[in-house]
């Protein structure tokens, strides 16, 4: 009897566990829920199935699910106000503290699925989990015949952080209204709740300001250029500016409503006082130089580093000119009236003060303020902007440079230059969103630099595993000051939504789990298995994504004048084959098992990864000069 009891106990723990073995599970959820218990059987969705909702607040979620299910299944399921739908959405009559405002409970049995939450946001996230429980074919844009089964599970889930963001830069390259809506739809599926919209920069002003029409008549357009950003030719005299676009205020209202329906808050960014060349092209009098020939930057290098950054073209607003603050008051009046959330992001980053230092009025202002360092003028500028926003009922949010010169106690800081700015801000009592470039810049190279588009510098690399290893709460910082984290997608080298998807996924899957799931549940081998399932779902959804996780990682060391190559892969269980004899590698070539000493001479290293006897990674080719450039790199 003791043996039989032990058998029953082991059986029960195998089928009911907080963190199931993903290899034996039918659930491949990203982000991983707080608690998930496997149970027997499954629910089968049919054309006779019903979707129920308990009140008008839950109706929109139920109708959204019906629309999502009917396309791939070919069914005509309708949402109904009933209490016993095959899939049922209910709002709790008594607030359940454990799950908070965005959490949910989901229970699936052979009889049906019930999703409960305190607020509609939780029902929305429960719906997203339900969709991931269905077969990958649910992502199809056309009807498919398959068994629409949902495994028996019991889930309790809620987020670790309140701020779970993705930023999209639409200044460097313009994305249409439909592109933006589709991107918001995609991030909402992985429980992101904040869309940071970078609307203005040197390369384009994208938001209609009716009181300042030149901002979009002039500032939204630049001359056509091809080639790498930062290496393009300057605009020619008389050349037509035909590339760009902007969002009307009606467009913005439509996008805001679309986002709100998906529990996504939009945070607009108007980047000042630097990164303002598009605004200055429209209104040159806003700058210190008042250069009437200022053009929207098409990707031209306009600054050099000589110990510190120096600007070659004036792209900053003049902090000593009252007309600048009148201009900003008009801009923020219209921005504040459009966006209902509490924050307006005011940038504050990379403000090159070359022209401030040379300007007589700026020097006079510094003397009046008893400022000896031109850097501190930014603090004065930000205090003026802060007052403008406060008067409109908004809260200031900016990159970590807004700490320079002092900021108001209520300001919120986004730490992008590592985590140090965030640590400093938190210790000063400011709320912080952690978004360090080292873990969260989705425009950085995610695979080998011979394959991925080059961006900024050789060190700008960010692999999936490093994203997954991010923790927004540094040691020694009170967690209450860390609102959460955010991934940022700057678009200098991203001209299309298709490429934006490629750069976003799968790294934003990793960040979604960082921001949502409990820290203690992190498990890299478990996560990559779930990533592979998401690859299949993304294929059905026609969403682009990188497969760099399968590629070999090649590191070169030098000792006593000889090169040594070390190789690995992020994805466990892959084999690496290589050649140095000018032949193409395959599974019959030399298999990498330990660091290899490379012979002297003009060799070419070719590397490819395999799984189960079939090639799975990109072919990587490195000539001798490439190898030397990678020494200890």
Active-site residue (options: 169, 201, 321, 452):
201
Q: Quote the CA–CA distance of 569 and 566 in Å, as a whole number.
A: 11
Rg (the chain; Cα; Å): 27
Q: Are 382 and 314 in contact (CB under 8 A)?
A: no
- By three-state DSSP, how is residue 421 classified? helix
Catalytic position from the list 179, 350, 471, 575: 350
Whole-number Å distance between alpha carbons of 51 and 127: 12
Active site residue 618: no
Beta-ladder partners of 563: 558, 598
CB 474 within 8 A of CB 418: no
Phi and psi at residue 46, to the nearest 5°: -130, 175
DSSP state of 250: H
Residue whose structure tokens are 């098992």: 593
Choose among 28, 166, 160: nearest CA to 535.
28
Q: Reduce the DSSP state of residue 307 to 3 states and report it.
A: coil
Element (H, E) at 114: strand 112-117
Of 119, 208, 269, 275, the catalytic one is 275
**Contact by Cβ (8 Å): 542, 141:** yes
Mapping DSSP to helix (H, G, I), strand (E, B) and coil, where does residue 13 land?
A: helix
In angstroms, the CA 39 to CA 49 distance is: 21
Q: Is 275 a catalytic residue?
A: yes
Provide the 10 A C-beta neighbour count for residue 455: 20
User: Environment class of residue 166 by beta-carbon count within 10 Å: exposed (0-12), middle (13-18) or buried (19+)?
Assistant: buried
Does 350 qualify as catalytic in the annotation? Answer: yes
**φ/ψ of residue 198, rounded to 5:** -80, 95
Q: Which residues are catalytic?
A: 201, 275, 350
């Amino acid at each position: 009897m003791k043996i039989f009891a032990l058998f029953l106990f082991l059986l029960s723990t195998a089928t009911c566990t907080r963190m199931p073995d993903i290899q034996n599970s039918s659930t491949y959820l990203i982000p991983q829920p707080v608690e998930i218990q496997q149970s027997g059987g499954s629910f089968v969705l049919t054309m006779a199935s019903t979707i129920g909702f308990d009140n008008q607040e839950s109706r929109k979620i139920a109708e959204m699910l019906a629309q999502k299910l009917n396309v791939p299944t070919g069914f005509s399921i309708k949402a109904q106000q009933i209490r016993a739908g095959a899939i049922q959405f209910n709002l709790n009559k008594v607030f359940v503290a454990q799950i908070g405002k965005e959490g949910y409970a989901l229970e699936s049995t052979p009889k049906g699925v019930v999703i409960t939450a305190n607020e509609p946001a939780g029902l929305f996230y429960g719906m997203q989990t339900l969709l991931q429980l269905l077969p990958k074919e649910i992502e199809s844009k056309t009807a498919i015949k398959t068994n629409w089964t949902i495994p028996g599970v019991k889930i309790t889930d809620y987020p670790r952080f309140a701020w779970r963001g993705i930023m999209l830069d639409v200044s460097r390259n313009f994305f249409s209204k439909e592109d933006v809506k589709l991107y918001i739809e995609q991030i909402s599926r992985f429980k992101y709740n904040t869309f940071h919209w970078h609307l203005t920069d040197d390369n384009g002003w994208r938001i209609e300001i009716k009181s300042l029409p030149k901002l979009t008549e002039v500032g939204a357009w630049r001359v056509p250029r091809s080639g790498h950003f930062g290496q393009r030719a300057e605009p020619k005299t008389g050349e037509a500016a035909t590339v760009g676009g902007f969002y009307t205020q009606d467009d913005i209202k439509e996008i805001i409503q679309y986002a709100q329906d998906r529990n996504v808050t939009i945070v607009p960014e108007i980047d000042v006082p630097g990164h303002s060349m598009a605004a200055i092209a429209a209104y040159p009098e806003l700058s210190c130089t008042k250069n009437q020939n200022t053009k929207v930057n098409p990707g031209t290098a306009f600054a050099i580093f000589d110990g510190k950054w120096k600007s070659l073209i004036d792209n900053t607003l003049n902090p000593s000119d009252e007309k600048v603050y009148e201009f900003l008051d008009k801009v923020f009046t219209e921005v504040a009236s459009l966006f209902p959330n509490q924050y307006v992001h005011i940038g504050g980053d990379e403000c090159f003060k070359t022209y401030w230092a040379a300007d007589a009025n700026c020097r006079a202002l510094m003397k009046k303020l008893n400022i000896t360092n031109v850097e501190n003028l930014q603090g004065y500028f930000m205090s003026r902007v802060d007052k403008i926003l406060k008067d409109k009922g908004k809260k200031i949010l900016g990159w970590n440079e807004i700490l320079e010169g002092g900021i108001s106690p209520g300001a919120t800081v986004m730490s992008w230059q590592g985590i140090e700015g965030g640590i400093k801000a938190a210790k000063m009592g400011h709320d912080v969103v952690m978004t360090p470039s080292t873990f969260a810049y989705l425009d950085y190279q995610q695979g080998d630099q011979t394959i991925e588009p080059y961006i900024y510098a050789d060190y700008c690399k960010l692999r999936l595993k490093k994203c997954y290893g991010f923790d927004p709460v540094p040691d020694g910082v009170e967690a209450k000051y860390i609102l959460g984290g955010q991934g940022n997608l700057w678009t200098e080298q991203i001209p299309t939504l298709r490429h934006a998807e490629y750069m976003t996924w799968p790294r934003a899957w990793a960040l979604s789990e960082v921001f949502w799931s409990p820290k203690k549940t992190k498990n890299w081998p478990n996560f990559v298995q779930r990533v592979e399932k998401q690859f299949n779902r993304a294929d059905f959804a026609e969403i682009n994504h990188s497969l760099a996780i399968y590629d070999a990682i090649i590191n070169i060391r030098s000792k006593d004048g000889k090169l040594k190559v070390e190789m690995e892969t992020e994805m466990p269980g892959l084999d690496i084959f290589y050649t140095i004899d000018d032949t193409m590698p395959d599974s019959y070539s030399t298999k990498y098992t330990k660091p290899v000493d490379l012979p002297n001479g003009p060799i070419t290293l070719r590397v490819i990864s395999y799984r189960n006897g079939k090639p799975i990674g990109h072919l990587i080719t490195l000539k001798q000069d490439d190898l030397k450039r990678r020494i200890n790199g």
